[in-house]
Amino acid sequence: MRKYLLPILLLTLFEIIAVTLWLTLDNLFYLINFSYIGFAISLGTVLYLKKYRHARRFVQLFVGLYMLIYLGLICRENMQIEGFWYYLLLGVFDAAVIHYAVAKIFGPLVFGRGWCGYACWTAMVLDFLPYKVAQSPRRNIGWMRYCTFAASLVFVAGLFISGTGHLEEVMFWAFIAGNVLYYAAGIVLAFAFRDNRAFCKYLCPVTVFLKPMSRFALLRIKCDTTKCIACGKCEKVCPMDVDMRDNSRKRKNGTECILCMECVKACPKKAL
């Protein structure tokens, strides 16, 4: 039973969120939504513990497709960063604001960049590309994320300032256009830098929230230095270039860890 403590804790955490939002906002949708996501993540964790190779990809598709197709295209909720600004400027604590609060702003204090490893529908597609580990050195162009972050805010603020009508319709089409742009930029960057996760490293505006918050994450990869033989196998499989052998919060690219567990699987000494 101890072995399954993590999935039980994760399921409990999501159920607490689901029930709290359901009762406080009097909306059954939140109970179903967060229960579904919690169930998918817990099931994925169980599959990982049972050594199923594709456990992470299973959760990523289960959650990512649900959010992209059901919430985004069928329910017409803009869950991108533009949707977050939209609801925030409307002064409504709903939809994308709740999604951002749970998955991308406060959640990372507990589960770090788990969103990026197990739920993001952009990375869900990028992870199918051939460069699972970067095959070129990291570029010093992380500043680009601040440009896309500012552009998303300016775009939504501009809609309000200009008094654009039919904002819900506009936000739906912005969701479609935003996703097409993200996928196109992500695929181009992946092939240009031979790195599936180049978009995450340099351009994704959400990382402006994710990086500082995940610095304090409770769940993180730690190294037992008494077991480590410095073979370097862990670093070779990391898609985010994290120095996972350094246990400090300041470790190289520490705020980029997506908890994919590839380093843990690769370690011959079970030091991670």
Answer yes or no whether residue 59 interacts with ligand SF4 by CB under 6 A: no
Which CB atom, from 38 or from 178, has the smaller least distance to ligand SF4? Answer: 178
Residues 10, 67, 174, 200: which binds ligand SF4 (CB under 6 A)?
200
Give the Cβ contact number of residue 68 at 10 Å: 19
Residues 229, 246, 249, 252: which binds ligand SF4 (CB under 6 A)?
229
Which CB atom, from 75 or from 181, has the smaller least distance to ligand SF4? Answer: 181
Q: Among 159, 37, 35, 23, which Cα is nearest to 87's?
A: 159
Q: Which residues contact 59 (CB under 8 A, 6 or more apart)?
A: 40, 41, 43, 44, 118, 119
Answer yes or no whether residue 79 interacts with ligand SF4 by CB under 6 A: no
Residues shown for the chain: 272
Answer yes or no whether residue 222 interacts with ligand SF4 by CB under 6 A: no
Answer yes or no whether residue 99 interacts with ligand SF4 by CB under 6 A: no
The CB-of-266 to ligand SF4 minimum distance in angstroms stands at 6
**What single-letter DSSP state applies at residue 256?**
G
Q: Among 243, 137, 255, 258, which Cα is nearest to 194's?
A: 137
Which CB atom, from 17 or from 198, has the smaller least distance to ligand SF4? Answer: 198
Answer yes or no whether residue 147 interacts with ligand SF4 by CB under 6 A: no
Answer yes or no whether residue 230 interacts with ligand SF4 by CB under 6 A: yes
Q: Which two tokens stand for residue 204?
A: 């994704």
Answer yes or no whether residue 269 interacts with ligand SF4 by CB under 6 A: yes
Answer yes or no whether residue 263 interacts with ligand SF4 by CB under 6 A: yes
φ and ψ of 194, to 5 deg: 50, 55
Chain-centroid distance of CA 14 in Å reads 16
Q: Among 252, 177, 246, 258, which Cα is nearest to 217's?
A: 258
Q: Among 71, 72, 76, which Cα is nearest to 168's?
A: 76
Angle at 164 between CA 161 and CA 169, to 5 degrees: 130
Residues 120, 171, 185, 190: which binds ligand SF4 (CB under 6 A)?
120
Residues 68, 97, 204, 217: which binds ligand SF4 (CB under 6 A)?
204
Residues 56, 99, 211, 245: which binds ligand SF4 (CB under 6 A)?
245
- Cβ–Cβ under 8 Å, residues 36 and 65: no
Residues 42, 207, 214, 255: which binds ligand SF4 (CB under 6 A)?
207
The CB-of-113 to ligand SF4 minimum distance in angstroms stands at 6
Chain contacts with ligand SF4 (rule: CB under 6 A): 116, 120, 122-123, 199-200, 204, 206-207, 221, 223, 228-234, 237-240, 242, 244-245, 257-263, 266-267, 269, 271-272
